[in-house]
Structure 1
Amino acid sequence: MTDAAFDTPLDSLPMDGPELASLIAAKLCHDFISPSGAIVSGLDLLNDPTAQDMRDDAISLITDSAKKMVALVQFCRVAFGAATTAERFTGEELRALVDGVTHGGRATLDWRLEVADFSKPQARAMVNLAYLTVAALPMGGQAVVTARTQGAGIVLEGLAEGARARLKPEAATGLAGQRLTEGLAGQWVQPYWLWLTIRQAHGTLNVEAVEGRVVLTGTIPS
């Protein structure tokens, strides 16, 4: 599947700004509710006089959930927002953001970055591409994320290999820059956001999905 939609005028995009913003906000609320709910549950245990024998478990739950929440917020500031004054990011900074939200999953993530720093659009594309590469391995496997220079731009590639490596239909629709007609919007919006990010940076996104292997390749000018 090859992205040939760059020539589409902005006013012909399949979704307008307010609708897209509402779907991104819904996704963020969905992602945040689990760690925030766990923090509340831990606090309830601490305040329950009949559960004092679970105090250590409660503190552990609160600590782990708070770390997860912070990691999610830091990731989303770069992946979805512009709430940062930085105009350029190092590879190590982006790696830390993605590792923070994928740590503990079944897939292993190997970084092979030959690029020293990234512009804000390149950084946004990088973290979303890396996250979606890992997400293509729900049952585990090997994810490899690379970044290399090519002419005046860079090439970002996410390779997912595993027995159950796959793209959900909603993700494939989003990565093609198409409007979702059926399925879960929460599974669609981040892939579409990656496509849109690369498109608006005057780049291209190629997707290969076969049994046991998914490859996402984005080319973005500097």
Structure 2
Amino acid sequence: MTLSDFSAQPSAPELAIADLPAGGAELAAFIAGKLCHDFISPAGAIMSGLDLLEDPTAQDMRDDAMSLIRQSARKMVAHVHFARVAFGAATTSEQFASVDLRGLVGGLYEGGRATLDWRIGDGATFTKPQARILINLAWMTLGALPTGGVATITARQDGERLQLIGSAEGARARLKPEALTGLKGERLTEGLAGQWIQPYWLWLAVNEAGGRLDIAADEGRVGLIAQTPL
């Protein structure tokens, strides 16, 4: 996919920190809310499984309870590993291998309706800012396929710039209005903040890396193209 494949919508121009739609404590609050939302579902499912194990009248459901606990624990761990790179400082490592980043995204979306087609060689490596951009972009691409489809993730060098491209193709491929607002680096004025913060975080990560984020859309297809200096 290239920008010429779609009718592209450019992102907002680069802004000074003081002019950002959300920053500082407000941005931290939005991200904390997003993480709490992501963690509460598997955590609640684990508690439900434990309650079943402790219920003397539900001993016939012990196997189901253990299965629920195992699945939910894996989902919780996947969310934590993803969030450490996507939102946090992750490890002290300054380079991330493509195969590891693919695992972070794939583990988070295990059992989802869309299929992840990761077309970046396992030997490719990315800096911490690039890795943060890449996995947020990949997650947003998968999220654009609520009823299923294929999310293709590619990366290529174009001169002195790195292009990270997510292409979502499916019958109902789309981005919610809140997501479009965030991806353009604009402040949310209506809608759900939980649908806005990760797209905005992706735009902010690209902006702080000295790059630009473009959105492309056509019937049955959505494209996200992040371009950053090498």
Answer yes or no: same fold by TM over 0.5: yes
Q: Name the aligned partner's letter for residue 28 of structure 2.
A: A
- What is the TM-score when the length of structure 1 is the normalising length? 0.97
- How many Å separate the matches in 1 of 2:12 and 2:28? 24
What corresponds to 2:26 in structure 1? 19
- 2:56 matched to 1:49? yes
CA RMSD, Structure 1 to Structure 2 (Å): 1.0
What corresponds to 2:42 in structure 1? 35
- What is the TM-score when the length of structure 2 is the normalising length? 0.94
SS in structure 2 opposite 1:113?
Answer: coil
Contact 1:107/1:139 (8 A) holds in 2: yes
Contact 1:166/1:210 (8 A) holds in 2: no
The number of residues matched between the two structures is 221
Q: Name the aligned partner's letter for residue 59 of structure 1.
A: M
Q: Name the aligned partner's letter for residue 215 of structure 2.
A: V
What corresponds to 2:134 in structure 1? 126
- How many Å separate the matches in 2 of 1:100 and 1:48? 31
Structure 1 stretch 114-123 or stretch 157-166: which is displaced more?
A: 114-123
Taking the TM superposition and a 5 Å limit, the aligned residue runs for 1:7-156 are 8-114=15-121, 116-156=124-164
Report the alpha carbon displacement of residue 201 of structure 1 after superposing the two structures with TM: 0.2
Report the alpha carbon displacement of residue 221 of structure 1 after superposing the two structures with TM: 1.2
- 2:223 matched to 1:215? yes
Contact 2:12/2:185 (8 A) holds in 1: no
- How many Å separate the matches in 2 of 1:164 and 1:220? 29
- How many Å separate the matches in 1 of 2:218 and 2:175? 9
Report the alpha carbon displacement of residue 154 of structure 1 after superposing the two structures with TM: 1.3
What corresponds to 2:13 in structure 1? 5
Q: Name the aligned partner's letter for residue 112 of structure 1.
A: R
Unaligned runs of 5+ in 1: none
Identity of aligned residues (%): 63
Unaligned runs of 5+ in 2: 1-8
